[in-house]
Amino acid sequence: MVAAADAGPGETFQQVTGFGSNPGNLAMYAYVPAGLPAGAPLVVALHGCVQTATDYYRDSGWTKFADLYGFAVVFPQTGPANNSLSCFSWFDAGKDARGKGEAESVVEMVAKAESSYGSDRQRVFVTGLSAGGGMAADLLADYPDVFAGGAVDSGLPAHCATTQSAASGCQNSDQRLTPAQWGDKVRRAYPGYAGPWPRVAIWQGTADTTVKPVNATELRDQWTDVWGVGQNASATRSLPGGTTESVYEDANGRPAVALYSVAGMGHGLAVDPGSGTDQCGATGSYFLDTICSGYYTARFWGLDRGGPTTPALPAPAGLTATATGPDAVALTWQAVTGAASYAVYRDGARVAAPTAAGYTDTGLSAGTSYGYTVAAVDAAGIEGVHSAVVTASTTGSAPPCFTDDNYNQVQAGRATQSGGLTYALGSGQSMGLWNTFTTHTLKQTGPGYFVLADGQC
């Protein structure tokens, strides 16, 4: 092992040798916080093209949370001998499959870290940027028995391409596969495996022209299908940096997939330099000052709580929803012991945080059905299990809906297009590529204001 010169006192950022047969010809580097005990989690962080492990160590922000939450980080490194741009080979079936090439080398690094640092084999995670993100997705598919969770930053769906010539198609265009077809690519990577599946965070900039935003939608479709949950979010919320978080929960109310869409961000890893707990990283080439993705990813994986994300409080019982007019719905539920407040969600979006076991939702559209769930929130701000969805319909006439392809939606003035992408007029919701092959339903909820309503009208 050769220590890196810029490691802090008592900390180690080192190259690790002798970690296995290394069929992928990779180098292994690791960061271990001072005094890290056995049984701590392990994160594998894969750099992007034209980057090195040292770049990712210095600028990604992962070492801050390794110190804060207590885990080791492995930084695999590829190089020009493998790829002229030092990209991980997410597009090569001979290098990104279970037991082969670079994928096997990374798993050998995991085994070395588990042996050397006593890492918890049940809490191993993988994240990566761009080509590293594509390889992270492949690893989650190839080795769901190794990785408890992953994060794909500006990356590609698992096994989108099997040859380098097909890679640009994945990066730049909609592959027009169903969620089930995307899910099958994961299931075929390790035939016979039946779960549990990794929990997957997806980060994507809406202005990325290197890996187009459609890849985030495809990743969402792929991993929600693997989990057996729908493609409609269980909850959404706004985060710093113009970021929208959409969470897709499993049958037990735990986050299975999370999609983080960063408005206006190009191709790179989202960082937010600063000393705040929710800040991290350093800006530079492909490290973009927007939001600290590492902070939210670590919390999504449950690293801030010493274990997998498990809701602390049960779902509120007895939720009822009653329309009280054309623009309001009254909600009531049974109080939950230990709840400091409650999170109320309408159609997957968090709309209120009352402290009492009831809430009246106002400002709604007439003649419209709304689905509600409620979760109890403890004193630490951790949401418990969500209740089952209940539905209420306001009185009056329903707002009009329009189903058409994205090109015609723009032509009709219900959407706008920018950079080849389509956005709903008013709400600004992303609708994907501006063409005649992508179809959505838009609901008009006000003058010049439309929202996505696929399957709702």
What is the Cα–Cα distance from 237 to 218, expressed in whole angstroms? 21
Rounded to whole angstroms, the Cα distance separating 381 from 342 reads 10
Locate tokens 């075929």: which residue? 188
Q: What is the rounded distance in angstroms from the CA atom of residue 87 to the CA atom of residue 73? A: 20
Instruction: Check if the beta carbon of residue 224 is closer than 8 Å to that of residue 257.
Output: yes
CA distance 348 to 327: 18
Task: Specify whether the CB–CB gap between 292 and 280 falls below 8 A.
Answer: yes
d(CA 308, CA 147): 12
Among 302, 286, 385, 391, smallest CA distance to 343 is for 385
Bridge partners of 216? none
Catalytic status, residue 397? no
The radius of gyration of the chain from alpha carbons, rounded to an integer in Å, stands at: 23
Q: In the 8-state DSSP scheme, what is residue 389? A: P
Which of the 8 DSSP states describes residue 67? Answer: I
- Sign of the dihedral through C-alpha 71, 203, 140, 302: positive
Neighbours of 99 (CB within 10 A): 11
Query: Which of 64, 65, 62, 93 shows the shortest CA–CA distance to 76?
Result: 62
**Residue 250: which of 272, 226, 269 has the closest Cα?**
226
For residue 156, which of 174, 143, 142 has the smallest C-alpha distance?
174
Count the Cβ atoms, other than its own, within 10 Å of residue 206: 20
187: left (phi over 0), alpha (psi -120 to 50) or beta: alpha
Q: Which of 119, 130, 234, 365 is catalytic?
A: 130
Q: Token pair of 79, please?
A: 């190089």
The sheet with strand 415-418 has its strands ordered as 415-418, 421-424, 430-433
CB 41 within 8 A of CB 64: no
Q: Is 317 helix (H, G, I), strand (E, B) or coil?
A: coil
Residues annotated as catalytic are 130
